[in-house]
Structure 1
Amino acid sequence: MKRCVIFDLDGTLADTSGDLIAAANHCFEAMGIDERLDPAADAGTAVRGGRAMLTLGLTRAGLMSEERVTKWYPELLSAYDAAIDVNTTMYPGAVSAVEALLRDDYAVGICTNKPEALAEKLLRSLGVRDLFGSMIGADTTAARKPDVLPYWTAVDQAGGRRDASLLVGDSVTDRKTSAAAGVPSILVTFAVGGEDVHVLQPEAVIDHFDELQPKIVQLIG
């Protein structure tokens, strides 16, 4: 069993906000809502997922209801699936950082709250799926982050040691997940609103993937 690093996906490994917002705006257009989410100003909501984007747009239009969010969520996923990699890119240094971990004999996996099929499709489209020994999505297990079940499943499937693992993420959800599991977290600042992660008091913070491996060595060896 190896030391293990588990990554979040959206807002951590890849900037997916542009394609997520495009999918939400497709739904608003279909609803006849004139106002659209802004790819820059609303990127922080995008990385929180489809339901958060629908809630924001419907609230702005004065049409918010949980029934509408539930009704349009499948349409949003369908639109996203059809154009999942138009604007999405890996963050600078992400691939090199993962490759360096593999060379140093770490187990590496992903634990995301993106539906598994969409996450798998995106990773393959970006050409990076084979770098990860596990890929656990929102619907892979009976729970999703911040529950510990998907995190431990990601560690186990990657061939990692639970007692020598950590989570790299960008959000309060990732921080809560690591805390629930009793493992360290490293949060990134380069996602939208990234400087806010300092208040979550993770074990470490990085501004670029070049800083990742030294932090990992300090925390789990």
Structure 2
Amino acid sequence: MTRNCVIFDLDGTLADTSGDLIAAANACFDGMGNDVRLDPVADAAIAVRGARRMLTEGLTRSGRYDAALVEEWFPRFLDIYGDAIDVHTRMYDGAVAAVEALRVADYAVGICTNKPEALAQTLLQRLGVRDLFGSLIGADTGPTRKPDVAPYWAAVDVCGGRRTASLLVGDSDTDRNTALAAGVPCVLVTFSPDGQAVRALNPEAVIDHFDELQGAVGRLIGTP
């Protein structure tokens, strides 16, 4: 029997991963012999856009952008990041309690992220929260990634969710566009690097703290 379902993005939604992502990007720049640096605070919004975006930004700032260089260093970035994936990363305040409350209320919960699946698995295990989620669909789990709807539906299906009573909690235009493509509600968080700017995306709900999540979920897809 399927259940009402809440699917979460990971980076910038459940966890603040920007510090470790930027540290890995800067290590790549060191390896290139490039003295450019991304800032863990000022460039946090770039970090949650992924490795290629960070490498592109840094190389562009130094006047050395080369698409082939980005692709060459992308797998190296993944190795560097994977080796130090949880040095600075933390779950956002109230995230664990909010997920646990949804589970107690009998919602199905899962994750749909554009992080490679193996890295997402490792991170969640090290943070001690992997068992809270009935599904984890990453960027490379299937042939497409968000904002394509297929990964979202896979996350819903694997955790035993009901597609017609599901929603996506995220922090970016990628998450908003995924929800629009699926025809489901979207809840965006303001404690991510994009902050209050997510309101301009006109999601069905915006929350400033995870304490507000269950109320928003109940209004948008009902209770199990």
- The C-alpha deviation readout for 1:89-146, integer Å capped at 9, x for no partner, is 0000000000000000000000000000000000000000000000000000110000
- Distance in 1, matches of 2:67 and 2:164, equals 40
Aligned twin of 1:72? 73
Unaligned 5+ segments in structure 1 are none
Aligned twin of 2:29? 28
Instruction: State the percentage of identical aligned residues.
Output: 69
C-alpha RMSD of the superposition: 0.4
Structure 2 residue 208 is the aligned partner of structure 1 residue 207: yes
Structure 2 residue 123 is the aligned partner of structure 1 residue 122: yes
Aligned twin of 1:158? 159
The TM-score with structure 2 as length reference comes to 0.98
**Counterpart residue type for residue 115 of structure 1:** P
In the TM superposition, residue 193 of structure 1 has moved relative to its aligned partner by: 2.0
- Distance in 2, matches of 1:47 and 1:220, equals 28
Structure 2 residue 171 is the aligned partner of structure 1 residue 170: yes
Q: What SS does the aligned partner of 2:141 have? A: coil
In the TM superposition, residue 194 of structure 1 has moved relative to its aligned partner by: 1.5
Structure 2 residue 63 is the aligned partner of structure 1 residue 51: no
Aligned twin of 2:182? 181
Aligned twin of 1:18? 19
Aligned twin of 2:141? 140
Unaligned 5+ segments in structure 2 are none
- Distance in 2, matches of 1:192 and 1:7, equals 16
The TM-score with structure 1 as length reference comes to 0.99
- Distance in 1, matches of 2:97 and 2:142, equals 29
In the TM superposition, residue 35 of structure 1 has moved relative to its aligned partner by: 1.7
- Distance in 1, matches of 2:73 and 2:19, equals 19
**Counterpart residue type for residue 196 of structure 1:** A
- Distance in 2, matches of 1:147 and 1:194, equals 24
- The C-alpha deviation readout for 1:161-205, integer Å capped at 9, x for no partner, is 000000000000000000000000000000112211011000000
Aligned twin of 1:42? 43
**Counterpart residue type for residue 11 of structure 1:** G
Runs of 4+ in 1 over 2 A off after TM superposition: none
**Counterpart residue type for residue 173 of structure 1:** T
Residue 3 of structure 2 contacts residue 162 of structure 2 at CA under 8 Å; is this kept in 1?
A: yes
**Counterpart residue type for residue 141 of structure 2:** T
- Distance in 1, matches of 2:77 and 2:167, equals 32
Moved more, 27-36 or 121-130: 27-36
- Distance in 1, matches of 2:36 and 2:28, equals 11
- Distance in 2, matches of 1:69 and 1:211, equals 39
**Counterpart residue type for residue 108 of structure 2:** A
In the TM superposition, residue 81 of structure 1 has moved relative to its aligned partner by: 0.3
Q: What SS does the aligned partner of 1:213 have? A: helix
